[in-house]
Structure 1
Amino acid sequence: MTTPLPSWPPRHADRRTSASRMAVPREPLDPARTGRRWVRRRARGMTADAAVAALDVAPFDTQQNSRFEDLAGDERGPAERGEWEWIARLLADAPPGTAYDPDTDDVVRAELTADAREAGLRELGA
């Protein structure tokens, strides 16, 4: 004699609430901020020449993205290009051979401080 297969989904008498699996509210997505952070990760360790080369490619990427309907009005492309311009200027003013490090960039540190302050205020308000 064969044993019957268990029912699917399993039936348990002690149903638990899914409170531990509830979605946590997140901050809204900011495409421009995402683009700037992507550029900073890419630029880590780049010299001035490499940053200028990346800046030369940025308009092409923005133009390619504009061909897609869902990306045509996206702020990410212009934000990425602006960040490449900032990094290229920063490295052009630095001594030769200096590599970009977002951890030492004052603009990045100010942005992270503002983000932490906003997160603290959201936490207090929640």
Structure 2
Amino acid sequence: MNLFDVNWIGVVLAALGGFVVGGIWYGPVMGKKWMGAVGLTEEQIKEGSMGLIYGGAFAFSLVASWTLAHTFQSYADLGADLSVFAKVMTSFGVALGFIVPAIGTNYLFSQKNKTLFFIDAGYWLLFYTAMGLVHAYLP
């Protein structure tokens, strides 16, 4: 399989889906709690380079989305016909099995609080689930 033989529309839409989840999660749902957990004020956040932050975050979302698309295409090339449920659960499993333990380990060593861990872990579970749904319907 060619590394770039994926549905690029699906890759971009899944990345956008994850990005939208982040906007909702770190905005109206958990925004205030997240700011308190990281120790930032709204003024400090506004002082950041928003173009770099959002552009970088979207670039990372594209990499994650492409990786899922490539993984699912690799399975298909081997003859697997994964259901929507299997793709969503695989995506959720990536977050639960790889992302959450990785950030948990980082947060333990950097002595960050549990609240921040649960906010960020919840986000990544939702992020990958949203991407899995898009990739399931746009293979």
Q: Same fold (TM over 0.5)?
A: no
Q: TM tier, shorter chain?
A: 0.3 to 0.5
Normalised to the residue count of structure 2, the TM-score between the two structures is 0.32
Between structure 1 and structure 2, the one with the greater Rg is 1
Higher RCO, 1 vs 2 (CA within 8 Å, ≥6 residues apart): 2
